[in-house]
Amino acid sequence: MIRALFLIEKGVVLEMKSRALKDNLSGYAFISPFIIGFTAFTVVPMLISLYLSFTNYDLFTTPTWIGLANYKEMLFGDEKFWKSLSVTFYYVLAGVPLRLMFALFVAMLLNQNRKGIGIYRVLFYLPSIIGGSVAVAIMWRNIFGNEGVINALLFFMGIDKKILWYQDPTSALWTLILLAVWQFGSSMLIFLAGLKNIPPTYYEAASVDGASAVHKFFKITLPLLSPIIFFNLVMQTISAFMTFTPAYIISKGEGGPLDGTLLYPLYLFQKAFNFFQMGYASAMAWVMLIIVGLTTLILFKTSSLWVYYESKED
Amino acid sequence: MGLLRVEGGLIDMETYKQPTNNVIEPNIKPTIEKKRTKIKPKKILFHVITSIIAIIMLYPVIWLIMSSFKESSSIFVTAHSLIPDKFIWTNYADGWKGIAGQSFGTFIKNSLTIVGLSTIGAVVSSALIAYGFARIQFKGKSFWFACMMVTMMLPHEVLMIPQYIIFAKIGWINSFKPIIVPQFFGHAFFIFLIVQFIRTIPVELDEAARIDGCGRFSIFFRIILPLITPALATSAIFSFYWKWEDLINPVLYLNKAELYPVSLALKLFLDTESASNWGAMFAMSVVSLVPVILIFFLFQKYIVEGISTSGLK
């Protein structure tokens, strides 16, 4: 009897083992495309890139090992590198907060039960969908042109002084920032989903206690929305660091005037594919990876100071 | 099997609504009624503010569309007025003739080839991978999942140069392969989106099918696949958008005008703008936006779902 039980148990164990084995096999079968792709298009390229960053390589001759020379040149010898870095930080630090503030403002405006909300939501979101395209970059270049619609409208309103947007480095960069802010729609949608999750009873209770709208915003909306603000902040910051197409189209690949719109990815692109300094550009790519990584890390570290998670309190 | 399908249909509808439908409805209704009777000026103010924002935001797009119907020479002279004196279609005829000896139709055909194949590849592979991550317990799963999440945050610039070198070495320059082939190995954003979606489907369905003798693959094809179509649609739409507007990969890999997709063709228009054929360039810009806007209005629901649940852009 006991022997029989033991056999059955052994059978169950064996079956479980074979099922675990089967699961392992089928699990890897299903994710095998990812593992192959990850190895071929991410891991191997990254290793190659790391190696190249210590070499001098022009794509045609064999790479020569030069140690840390690329990194040294970047940090101490290349003024354009520092210029593009400061332009990029200006772009990120001005563009991301403005975009998020605007997105939050409009999301709060739309978080009501009124007729026509759906239409507004769609209209506000449309620029996000088309914003990355070449067509929109061309459009942006032309509305801020010397004879463009912005100056024409300013003239129409009685301001008789043409702003030469693309003659001045700062104003040229601001057209790129405005283009980013213009695409606030996706962040707005995420905020809107978050706002809908805040129970209306909180606001009602606050109203009963005589809280003002400003009070409600700072004491209820902001804390409860902070995880979503944080999520948006991280995603938008990372993607802002990687902006390429608008700068490439609007400055016609030059990053001008006076390198005013030379965003980091554009400078990297120029180094790699205009000057064929593949080694130097690879080193730049790694510096960028470190910068983006550090920024994300700082955001995560500081998040405990201002991001409020409801479950902790309960 | 028949029963399962009926059940599946029900679950499909329920799970689809789940992620965003957390509004507590009973609390909202009374406040609406109160507002309707009391505060009217607030309502007007709301519509005024939102309409102004909407007009400012959409003005550039409307200006682009209207300008494409103006004569090239008058676009910037009459930049302040929106409506053309006379609607003309010649810009579209001009633009369609194309550039560098290629008709614009060729560029659209190229774009559709790239976008179509990439999208099929990305969605099919991502669905398979997502099923593996969401439903099967295997050794090393969390490790690979973490790898996948990291690739979402990885700047494309780091991979751009070595990938270019690899594809150049194996002779893929001037073909669509460097742009399309990597898509067949799954896309991290889509995998993540579909994993989240599969997790809302009850595991009992899988178990029931397993007892009926289904293997992993038939569970995936017969049970899971029909239920995750909304997530697949969202992925397909975003894949379409990203590949349609993609500029950097075509710039890198395609050097012959007959291979150019729409995005690169527009850049070519811009580069040769000394001809000052603004009208044609604007007209083709509008043409390039038509499919994007059309899909946007047709499949809005999926797009909104995709953004609000995973932060896709």
Predicted local distance difference test score (pLDDT) of residue B124: 94
Q: Which residue has the tokens 């403005």?
A: A98
Yes or no, beta carbons of A135 and B266 under 8 Å apart: yes
Integer angstrom CA distances of residue B69 from A131, A226, A279, B40: 22, 46, 48, 41
Predicted local distance difference test score (pLDDT) of residue A114: 77
Same domain (yes/no): A30, A105: no
Predicted local distance difference test score (pLDDT) of residue B128: 93
More confident: B141 or A159: B141
Same domain (yes/no): A7, A98: no
Predicted local distance difference test score (pLDDT) of residue B179: 92
Cβ neighbours of B252 in A, within 8 Å:
273
Predicted local distance difference test score (pLDDT) of residue A226: 85
Res. A314: pLDDT tops 70: no
Dihedral angle sign, alpha carbons of residues B147, B151, B154, B157: positive
Yes or no, beta carbons of A134 and B131 under 8 Å apart: no
Interface test with A, best of B28, B32, B34, B50 (most A CBs within 10 A): B50
| A61 belongs to a structural domain | no
| Amino acid identity, position B304 | V
Q: Which CATH architecture has domain B96-310?
A: Orthogonal Bundle (1.10)
CATH of the domain at A267: 1.10.3720.10
| A72 belongs to a structural domain | no
Predicted local distance difference test score (pLDDT) of residue A305: 81
Q: CA geometry: angle at A67 spanning A64 and A68, to 5°?
A: 130
Domain end, chosen from A17, A36, A52, is at A52
Res. B4: pLDDT tops 80: no
* CA–CA distance, A227 with A233 (Å, rounded to integer): 10
| A70 belongs to a structural domain | no
| A67 belongs to a structural domain | no
Mean pLDDT on A112-118: 78
Locate B178 and state its tokens. 């460097």
Inter-chain Cβ pairs, chain A and chain B, closer than 8 A:
272
Picking from B14, B239, B201, B221, the residue whose alpha carbon sits closest to that of residue B117 is: B239
Number of domains in chain A: 2
B311: pLDDT confidence band, cut at 50, 70 and 90? low
Same domain (yes/no): A29, A175: no
The minimum CA-CA distance between B3 and chain A, rounded to whole Å, is 27
Which residues, in sequence order, are bridge partners of residue A56? A64
Q: Is A139 on the interface with B (CB under 8 A)?
A: yes
CB A262 within 8 A of CB A81: no
Q: Is A126 on the interface with B (CB under 8 A)?
A: yes
| A59 belongs to a structural domain | no
Same domain (yes/no): A130, A212: yes
User: Domain of A262?
Assistant: 77-313
Nearest CA in chain A to B311: A190
Q: CA geometry: angle at A238 spanning A232 and A240, to 5°?
A: 95
Provide the total of helices (H) and of strands (E) in chain A, helices listed first. 16, 2
B113: pLDDT confidence band, cut at 50, 70 and 90? very high
Same domain (yes/no): A86, A218: yes
Cβ neighbours of B267 in A, within 8 Å:
134, 249
Same domain (yes/no): A44, A144: no
> Helix, strand or coil for residue A230?
helix
Yes or no, beta carbons of A196 and B20 under 8 Å apart: yes
CA atoms within 13 A on the CB side of A120: 24
Mean pLDDT on B178-202: 89
Locate B299 and state its tokens. 């499949």
* CA–CA distance, B189 with B129 (Å, rounded to integer): 12
More confident: B224 or A113: B224
| A35 belongs to a structural domain | yes
Same domain (yes/no): A225, A301: yes
Yes or no, beta carbons of A130 and B311 under 8 Å apart: no
Region class of A148: left (phi > 0), else alpha (psi between -120 and 50), else beta: beta
Which residues, in sequence order, are bridge partners of residue B99? B102
Q: Is A23 on the interface with B (CB under 8 A)?
A: yes
Cβ neighbours of A143 in B, within 8 Å:
60, 63
Q: Which of A37-41, A156-160, B10-14 has the highest mean pLDDT?
A: A37-41
Yes or no, beta carbons of B271 and A252 under 8 Å apart: yes
B181: pLDDT confidence band, cut at 50, 70 and 90? very high
| A288 belongs to a structural domain | yes
A311: pLDDT confidence band, cut at 50, 70 and 90? low
Same domain (yes/no): A33, A143: no
Identify the weakest region by mean pLDDT among A75-84, B36-45, B276-285.
B36-45
The minimum CA-CA distance between B178 and chain A, rounded to whole Å, is 10
- The tens digit of pLDDT for each residue in B147-162 reads 988 888 788 888 889 9
Mean pLDDT on A122-147: 82
Q: Is A1 on the interface with B (CB under 8 A)?
A: no
Q: Is A231 on the interface with B (CB under 8 A)?
A: yes
Q: Is A108 on the interface with B (CB under 8 A)?
A: no
The model's pTM is 0.80
Of chain B, the percentage scoring pLDDT greater than 90 comes to 17
A25: pLDDT confidence band, cut at 50, 70 and 90? confident
Yes or no, beta carbons of B162 and A48 under 8 Å apart: yes
Integer angstrom CA distances of residue A273 from A180, A244, A263, A269, A270: 26, 14, 15, 6, 5
Q: Is A182 on the interface with B (CB under 8 A)?
A: yes
Provide the total of helices (H) and of strands (E) in chain B, helices listed first. 17, 0
Predicted local distance difference test score (pLDDT) of residue B127: 93
Phi, psi of A21 (to 5 degrees): -60, -45
Cβ neighbours of A42 in B, within 8 Å:
151, 154, 159
Same domain (yes/no): A183, A305: yes
* CA–CA distance, B57 with B292 (Å, rounded to integer): 18
Contacts of A244 (CB under 8 A, 6+ apart): A263, A265, A266, A269, B247, B248
Same domain (yes/no): A17, A138: no
Predicted local distance difference test score (pLDDT) of residue A238: 87
Integer angstrom CA distances of residue A231 from A223, A297, A313: 14, 13, 20
Q: Which of A140-154, B64-78, B112-126 has the highest mean pLDDT?
A: B112-126
Identify the weakest region by mean pLDDT among A28-37, A232-241, A244-253.
A244-253
Locate A3 and state its tokens. 């022997």
Same domain (yes/no): A192, A44: no
The minimum CA-CA distance between B20 and chain A, rounded to whole Å, is 7
Q: Which helix (H) or strand (E) holds B51?
A: helix B41-67
Q: Which of A99-103, A109-113, A116-120, B21-25 has the highest mean pLDDT?
A: A99-103
Integer angstrom CA distances of residue A41 from A135, A196, B186, B241: 29, 40, 11, 22
Nearest CA in chain A to B53: A124
Res. B224: pLDDT tops 60: yes
Q: Which helix (H) or strand (E) holds A65?
A: strand A64-65
Predicted local distance difference test score (pLDDT) of residue B66: 84
- The tens digit of pLDDT for each residue in B233-259 reads 888 988 998 899 888 899 989 988 889
Region class of B141: left (phi > 0), else alpha (psi between -120 and 50), else beta: alpha
Mean pLDDT on B268-274: 74
The minimum CA-CA distance between B248 and chain A, rounded to whole Å, is 7
Cβ neighbours of B22 in A, within 8 Å:
196-197
B17: pLDDT confidence band, cut at 50, 70 and 90? very low
B309: pLDDT confidence band, cut at 50, 70 and 90? low
Res. A35: pLDDT tops 90: yes
Predicted local distance difference test score (pLDDT) of residue A39: 92
* CA–CA distance, A206 with A201 (Å, rounded to integer): 8
The whole-chain average pLDDT of chain A stands at 83
Mean pLDDT on A75-90: 89
- The tens digit of pLDDT for each residue in A240-256 reads 988 888 888 888 777 77
Phi, psi of A55 (to 5 degrees): -130, 170
Mean pLDDT on A278-289: 91
More confident: B36 or A264: A264
Cβ neighbours of A204 in B, within 8 Å:
27
Partner residue opposite A200 with nearest CB, options B27, B137, B156: B27
| A66 belongs to a structural domain | no
Yes or no, beta carbons of B263 and A112 under 8 Å apart: no
